[in-house]
Chain A
Amino acid sequence: MSAWLEIKDLHAKVGDKPILNGLSLTINAGETHVIMGPNGSGKSTLSNVLCGNPHYEVTGGSVEFKGQNLLEMSVEERARAGIFLAFQSPTELPGVSMSTFMKYALNARRKAAGEKELDAVSFMKRIKIRAQALDITDEMLKRPVNVGFSGGEKKRLEIFQMAVLEPDFCILDEMDSGMDVDAVKVAGSGVQIMRSPERSFLVISHNTKFLREQIKPDHVHILALGQVVAEGGAELMDEIDRNGFAGFLKEAVA
């Protein structure tokens, strides 16, 4: 197994405020990792930094993705290299339908790879199969992206995009928030179907029930004050269920 994503001593800030303070993390091909931690510990900052959000400034450390220096790549280059973020609060795109959005996204990858654009039939086929598996109707694909959808529908549409784009590294930021039990199951089964030896997951969540039942992680990391303060297997979630993050926070301060 080779390292898919290797984060070393990463520092990042928003404005003048340091959020990540020497975070290190290694994820290998095919693994599913979970990041947990109290609010403000840097979980969402990490996902945004990995995607290249210009709002966040990296001030130190390195990130390698499949041997490439990720921090030198633009947002769209990272996406084409296989990084995908399922947003905690997906952005509305008035006037842009989901099918147009996905057509642009797929063709952007093909163009960068020197391939010709997908023809209409292959495109529709790719879209339809994945939409059906995630209970997404034709009407939802025609409507403007994320406009007027419920929280759960938006999250399902994020998983749908992930299924269409077939990334190598998927970050799911609070995917279970705002979803009812059934929607979580549909989304969770979408993640299960996509697990493969060539694809890794980084899942940010507070919900240990969701993580145990739907995600079944290989590794759990506890984040506090912008650092990883504990690492282990799924058993770390039992400790959090019993005692919360208090014990881990002490270690971060010490």
Chain B
Amino acid sequence: MVEEISKITQLTIETGKTAVFVEKQLSDKAEIVIEAGARVKHYRLHENAEHALSVKIGRGASYEVVTLHKGNGDLTLSFDLAGEEAFCRSDVVYLLGGEEKSLISSDVRHNADNTVSRQLVKGAVTGKAFATFEGGVLIPYERKKIDGAQQHRAILLSPDATVKAVPRLEIYADDVKCAHGSAIGSLNQDQLYYLMTRGIDEADARALLTRAFLDEVFDSIEEDDVREDFRRLAVFEK
């Protein structure tokens, strides 16, 4: 059951509860606590505003969040894996065009043993827009059996668009599996040519390849209505 909710400021999901939220309007600042064993999926639309989200995830709890970020305004994400065996997936899709500018920063802190984090951030930037992604992962001293992964991929759709990626990995422990990567590039010319040899014009070919690129994030959304909604929203206004 998907629940529509807007402008969360403070929210606690109690021990053992299961919830799926869609949040299409965000407050300036949200603080969420996921208590032990609770399982939460949270889908959020962030558009043209400053917003900070901070989530504390308790023992054995699972928090999965997908944020679609469009336009101006900074997005600040902070995840505290506070209890053992906590799990956090925090995927982001961002789209910037025109003269838009945005800093997307994320901090994932593995403050308990046996915690797992996954993050896939994908951006499409056009016009003269400027996006910065700062991705922090912290694994403190003496933490054990930590598994973290962070991937950032962006495509530049115009010669004047800019994406800057700043990975910040702070790993002070030994018993750690932590994969990360960042890649920024243009659309593949061979793929564009192949599409165009079938009669698809360049604008549609570019839109189709951009769609396919961003879909990797949306494909993980199990709720059909939510997934289609986000796919529909993740386009540049004409």
| Residues of chain A at the chain B interface (Cβ within 8 Å) | 51, 53-54, 74-76, 78-80, 84-85, 87, 90-96, 100-101, 104-105, 108-109, 112, 144, 161, 165
Contacts and interface: CB of A to CB of B under 8 A. Distances in A.
Contacts of A95: 211-213, 215-216
Contact of A51 (B190, B197, B200, B215): B197
A240 B32 CA distance: 76
Contacts, number: 67
Contacts of A100: 208
A3 to B, nearest CB: 23
Interface of B: 189-191, 193-202, 204, 208-209, 211-213, 215-216
Contacts of A78: 197
Contact of A101 (B198, B213, B215, B216): B198
A104 B193 contact: no
A191 to B, nearest CB: 18
Contacts of B208: 96, 100-101, 104
Given A53-B193, A87-B194, A91-B190, A96 B212 contact: yes
A90 B194 contact: yes
Contacts of B216: 95
Given A76-B196, A90-B194, A91-B191, A108 B201 contact: yes
Contact of B212 (A54, A85, A94): A94
B197 A85 contact: yes
**Chain B at the A interface: SS class:** helix
Nearest to B201: A76
B193 A165 contact: no
Nearest to A82: B199
A80 B212 contact: no
A100 to B, nearest CB: 8
In the A-B complex, the 10 residue pairs with the smallest Cβ-Cβ separation, listed nearest first, are A95-B212, A79-B199, A91-B194, A105-B198, A75-B196, A80-B199, A108-B199, A76-B196, A96-B212, A108-B200
A85 B212 CA distance: 23
Contacts of A109: 199
A53 B195 CA distance: 12
A79 B191 contact: no
Contacts of A51: 197
20 contacts: A54-B189, A54-B193, A75-B196, A76-B201, A79-B198, A84-B197, A87-B194, A90-B194, A91-B191, A93-B194, A93-B195, A95-B212, A101-B198, A104-B204, A105-B198, A108-B198, A108-B199, A109-B199, A161-B198, A165-B199
